[in-house]
Amino acid sequence: MMRPTVVAILMSVIFPMLALAQTTDELKNDERTPDDVLTYGMGYGQQRFSPLTRINRNNVKRLVPAWSYSMSDNRGQEAQPLLKDGILYLTDHEKTVALDALSGKAIWKSMIEYPPDTTRVVCCGIVNRGGALFDGKLYRTILDAHVIALDIKTGKEVWRTKSADPKDGYSMTVAPLVASGVVIAGVAGAEFGHRGYLEGLDPQTGKQLWRTYTIPAPGEPGAETWPGDAGSHGGGSTWITGSYDPDLDLVFWGTGNPAPWNPVNRKGDNLYTNSILAFQPKTGKVVWHYQMTPNDPFDYDGVNELVQAELTIDGTLRKVVMQANRNGFLYVLERATGKLLAANKFVKVNWAERIDLATGRPVWTEVTKAALEGKSVQVWPHLTGGKNWHPMSYSPISKLIYLNTTSFGWDYQPLPSEEVANLKPGQPHYGIKRPFVYIFDDPDGRGHLRALDPVTGRSKWAVPFKSPNFSGTLVTAGGLVFTGRLTGEFMAVDADTGKTLWEFQTSAGIVGQPITWERDGKQYVTITNGATGPYVMRSGDPNLANVPAGGSVWTFKLFEEYSGPQRATSGN
């Protein structure tokens, strides 16, 4: 009886010291340490670039599955896996799991429950996008707008903090960010008339340290861009993890669309929806902002990931942050100041002619002007966006962005203003006639995998797909780009040409985020499958009719002679 107690006391003394081994410095260096993946985006700058070359153009044909692990769930698997000390950590809407990375065997599984009416305010997939590792804990969000911390050794809950109430439209799917020792999380819910925010929590206790709303309160700067109290349920979600520049000590986080979608009762710019916010992680204080789509009628939800790079623009090396926005423009801004350096179309766009670099504002076409007057229009891109949430990658070798884009428009038909008035938080906030009609220009090219020059927006190559891809990409120094398809194929293409070099049919559609890592001198690639999302659930795409549900994790390695079962390196 005494012995476990003694161990527990000893652990309580020793454990904090061990836990400190996982520190802010490790997070800062994540992109340079390929034997672990500690952050969303494979580095604070979210480049999703790996320096590993053991798997490369010449041998990728020998890539085979090492193991597969069932997530025992039919919902979407969108989470980026994390890896530390040979253990993979994965999340979905109802569980967190720790797996031995070499054998695929479970070390622990920690289930989550949330009230069944939570999913009333989940618009676009019952998902979770991953955890954050820091100080011996895994931090994650839950659909019912809670943030929790788990002990990474046992999966046991250390703390639980209620952030908001789903009855008011809020939900949480985002992978948190740990920056400057603060756990930062955001919310979804603009489709249900919430007021978006970012929140900083204490990693030890879960205590809320600060909250920054994405829509100003009455009297604050920016409030004048909303009529009446429209901003109080005006949306501006924060459902994709921001990137972090430790030198500037600034976090860059995208904000989402205004609510309701129909703009008729919210004339004005609707700050700070569809914007990039640069803020201090310790305080949540916004240092600069830039708005991509003012007064948005088209759900051009500006949350997409903000990838950092150093680019030569007009002969000057600039530290930039880049976003491929749902609205079809690729934005490049100076990290320190928010100055707009480039904004070019990367897909078909007809809502704006261009972005005025001097003012930073879009030059609207007749399409947007008509939509803002309450008229029906055909608009490109579709509300799905030229690129949806699935993250892009950037190679500092090729200086190119690799991303999956869509190629279809939307038959936008707003409802009359009286049908949009008096919506209450927690109720659907669309005000658009159903169904949301897709306009496919080319059924053989509903989407493309592209390599883009971030400064010009021009594609170096573009590979068409019959169904668009909604998977993240990963680029390696081995000259490979990994991504997945809604029909289940996981693939590697040549980063120089886009040519498919390898493909493997997994058991379900892929909407995940591939990672690669190294252990004992061997390189591995890990991806989840199990598809969901508005396109999968509602497009009626005939190519998806026979793709099964059911999520799994897959890890691949180069083929080698069978040498017995893989032994677990830790845990069991």
Partner 1 sequence: MIMRRAPPLRRAYVPLAARVALALAASASVVYADPDGAKIERGAAIYGDYCASCHGDGLRNTSGGATFDLRRLRPEDHDRFLNVVLNGKTQMPPWRGALKLEQIEAIWAYIRATIDR
Nearer to partner 1, 135 or 191 (CB): 191
How many chain residues bind partner 1 (CB under 8 A)?
A: 43
479-508 residues in contact with partner 1 (CB under 8 A) are 508
Interface with partner 1, residue 75, by CB under 8 A: yes
Nearer to partner 1, 405 or 476 (CB): 405
Residue 497 burial by CB count (10 A; 0-12/13-18/19+): exposed, middle or buried?
Answer: middle
Of the candidates 331, 325, 330, 427, the one whose C-alpha atom is nearest the C-alpha of residue 383 is 325
Please give the DSSP secondary-structure letter assigned to residue 259: S
Interface with partner 1, residue 165, by CB under 8 A: no
Full 3-state SS string of 481-505: EEEECCCCEEEEEECCCCCEEEEEE
> Does the annotation mark 249 as catalytic?
no
Interface with partner 1, residue 59, by CB under 8 A: no
Stretch that binds partner 1, among 23-31, 393-401, 470-478, 527-535 (CB under 8 A): 527-535
Q: Binder to partner 1 among 264, 286, 531, 553 (CB under 8 A)? A: 531
Nearer to partner 1, 113 or 314 (CB): 113
Q: How far is the CB of 541 from partner 1 (least distance, A)?
A: 6
286-325 residues in contact with partner 1 (CB under 8 A) are none
Q: How far is the CB of 513 from partner 1 (least distance, A)?
A: 20
Interface with partner 1, residue 411, by CB under 8 A: yes
Nearer to partner 1, 51 or 428 (CB): 428
Of the candidates 531, 399, 411, 413, the one whose C-alpha atom is nearest the C-alpha of residue 468 is 531
Q: Binder to partner 1 among 509, 513, 555, 556 (CB under 8 A)? A: 509
Interface with partner 1, residue 4, by CB under 8 A: no
Distance of CA 276 to the CA centre of its chain: 14
Interface with partner 1, residue 64, by CB under 8 A: no
Task: Write the CA distances from 309 to 108, 167, 297, 360, integer angstroms.
Answer: 37, 40, 31, 20
| DSSP state string for 167-227 | GGT-B--PPPEEETTEEEEE-B-GGGT-B-EEEEE-TTT--EEEEEESSPPTTSTTGGGS-
Full 3-state SS string of 389-422: CCCCEEECCCCEEEEEEECEEEEECECCHHHCCC
96-155 residues in contact with partner 1 (CB under 8 A) are 116-120, 122-124, 126
Q: How far is the CB of 145 from partner 1 (least distance, A)?
A: 15
Stretch that binds partner 1, among 195-203, 308-316, 425-433, 452-460 (CB under 8 A): 425-433
Of the candidates 37, 40, 14, the one whose C-alpha atom is nearest the C-alpha of residue 26 is 37
Cα 254 to Cα 392: distance, rounded to the nearest angstrom: 15
Distance of CA 313 to the CA centre of its chain: 27
Of the candidates 269, 266, 267, the one whose C-alpha atom is nearest the C-alpha of residue 293 is 269
Positive/negative CA dihedral, 78, 410, 443, 536? positive
Interface with partner 1, residue 434, by CB under 8 A: yes
Q: How far is the CB of 76 from partner 1 (least distance, A)?
A: 8
Q: How far is the CB of 301 from partner 1 (least distance, A)?
A: 14
Cα 191 to Cα 431: distance, rounded to the nearest angstrom: 10
What residues contact residue 562 under an 8 Å CB cut-off, 6+ apart?
Answer: none
Q: How far is the CB of 127 from partner 1 (least distance, A)?
A: 11
Stretch that binds partner 1, among 221-229, 277-285, 314-322, 540-548 (CB under 8 A): 540-548
Interface with partner 1, residue 540, by CB under 8 A: yes
Q: Binder to partner 1 among 159, 440, 494, 558 (CB under 8 A)? A: 440
Q: Binder to partner 1 among 7, 11, 18, 439 (CB under 8 A)? A: 439
Tokens 């209620």 -> residue? 162
Three-state secondary structure call for residue 238: coil
Q: Binder to partner 1 among 483, 539, 552, 555 (CB under 8 A)? A: 539
Residue 336 identity: A
Q: How many CA atoms lie within 13 A of 259 on its CB side?
A: 31
Q: What residues pair up with 136 in beta bridges, in sequence order?
A: none
Q: What residues pair up with 528 in beta bridges, in sequence order?
A: 553
Nearer to partner 1, 431 or 478 (CB): 431
Q: How far is the CB of 540 from partner 1 (least distance, A)?
A: 4
Asked if 293 contacts 235 with a C-beta cutoff of 8 angstroms, the reply is no
Q: Binder to partner 1 among 287, 370, 544, 558 (CB under 8 A)? A: 544
Interface with partner 1, residue 383, by CB under 8 A: no
Interface with partner 1, residue 390, by CB under 8 A: no
Q: Binder to partner 1 among 534, 566, 568, 569 (CB under 8 A)? A: 534
- Cα 456–Cα 462–Cα 468 angle in degrees, nearest 5: 115
Q: How far is the CB of 539 from partner 1 (least distance, A)?
A: 5
Q: How far is the CB of 486 from partner 1 (least distance, A)?
A: 9
Catalytically annotated residue among 100, 296, 299, 453: 299
User: In the complex, which residues of this chain contact partner 1 (CB under 8 A)?
Assistant: 74-75, 93, 116-120, 122-124, 126, 411, 413, 428, 430, 433-440, 508-509, 531-532, 534, 536-542, 544-550
Active site residues: 299
